[in-house]
Amino acid sequence: MKSICESNGYVEQFVLGEGELRFAVKDTLDIAGYRTRAGCQALAAAPIARHHASVVETLLDKRCVLTGKTTLHELAFGVTGINAWSGTPVNPHFPQLIPGGSSSGSAAVVASGEVDFSLGTDTGGSVRMPAACCGVLGFKPGYGVLSRKGVLPEHSSLDCVGIFARDAKVLRQVAHHLSMPESLPLTALPEVAFVAAAIPEIDALILKHLEQRGLRPRHSTLSMLADAHRAGLTIISHENWQAFHPLLSSDEVSPDVASRIRAGKDVEPAALADAERVRSEFTAQVDALLEQSPLLALATLPELPPTLEEADDPLSVVNLTRLVRPFNLSGHPALTLPIGEIRGRPVALQLVAAKGGEGLLIQAAQWFEQQRRRH
């Protein structure tokens, strides 16, 4: 396996602001006075940012304390979090396993307790996946709910700024600071639709977890889930070619990421049109399911997180996004929370709500935490 430079999750540490809640941000978000390098040597000499990203500015105005920038899978284009240039964060609770990508450092610094919360970005599961690998909460609001001003890449039809936290109370505070929709506390969880889509061991553990909390989920299907995953891959490939192909002339992009960026050049207009058709039809399918049940439950990862050695070939693990990427395509808010382990590897539950249902997801996370304490 290639040599890996280990990291505590940070690429730069500093202190900005005064207050109680401490946070860190993925190095795809601008911080005034610092370079936005996205874990890529080709951006090592990028211009120094003149302004904070909009979400960072808001949090600083709300008296949150920024402690630094975190590493990531290079150019946020990968699922393992392995980065030989800016460092691969050690997964705090599962050090043999990948920290997950692309927002690996943001997940690691929350899991280690170094900050109260962190910001990442989620284009194809890049908040929910590392949260699942590191055993913390990962929240992707609906597309467009949080501003992407000052976020790399500048243009994306999939990417959302997302939040990591260890507990739902902090997540709720952050959401409030960012003026996200809120909901009243839940005394009981509304009806849940369950989609079996992971390996049998994971689905069985999720069902047991739900049933132990008095839930009887309605078994449902999303027939276009695989199509939506493939369509999401087509669109991100095209959009990342548009965003990053100028960097390839420097030969400072790692070979695996460079090859995936180049692949985007060959995405034909017909393939894009078909992906957009799938986006529309899958979105309608999810909307229809959520009209019947306010919450959709399924596994965050279809398989157990791999070890660093097992993930040596980045292309071999892209399938790990097949249950998270579809909801970037559809734009629905989604949240992941840890529920247990199988053979020493973490398992996480993903909840999806209707558009505008960010508050419901956060209250559902708080409800699950309360139930866990009672059990």
Q: What is the pLDDT of residues 12-54, one digit of tens each?
A: 999 999 999 999 999 999 999 999 999 999 999 999 999 999 9
Which residue of the set 26, 69, 140, 355 is catalytic?
A: 26
Interval 340-353: pLDDT, tens = 999 999 999 999 99
* Other CB atoms within 10 A of residue 192 CB: 18
Which residue of the set 7, 118, 126, 237 is catalytic?
A: 126
Q: Can 183 be counted among the known catalytic residues? A: no
- DSSP letter assigned to residue 150: T
- The angle, 0 to 180 degrees and rounded to 10, between the axes of the packed helices 54-61 and 168-177 is 100
pLDDT score of 1 = 39
What is the share, in percent, of the chain residues with pLDDT greater than 90? Answer: 94
pLDDT score of 336 = 99
Q: Can 106 be counted among the known catalytic residues? A: no
Does residue 30 contact residue 60 with C-beta atoms inside 8 Å? no
Which residue of the set 7, 54, 102, 330 is catalytic?
A: 102
Interval 217-263: pLDDT, tens = 999 999 999 999 999 999 999 999 999 999 999 899 999 999 999 99
Q: Can 26 be counted among the known catalytic residues? A: yes
pLDDT, mean of residues 298-326: 91
Residue ranges and CATH numbers for the domains of the chain are 6-374 (3.90.1300.10)
| Preceding peptide of 102 cis, ω within 30° | yes
pTM of the model: 0.97
Question: What distances in angstroms separate CA 231 from CA 161, 320, 358, one per listed residue?
Answer: 21, 15, 24
pLDDT of 4 > 80? The answer is no
Q: In what order do the strands lie in the sheet with 22-26?
A: 10-16, 65-70, 22-26, 117-122, 160-165, 137-140, 334-342, 345-353, 295-299, 192-195, 218-220
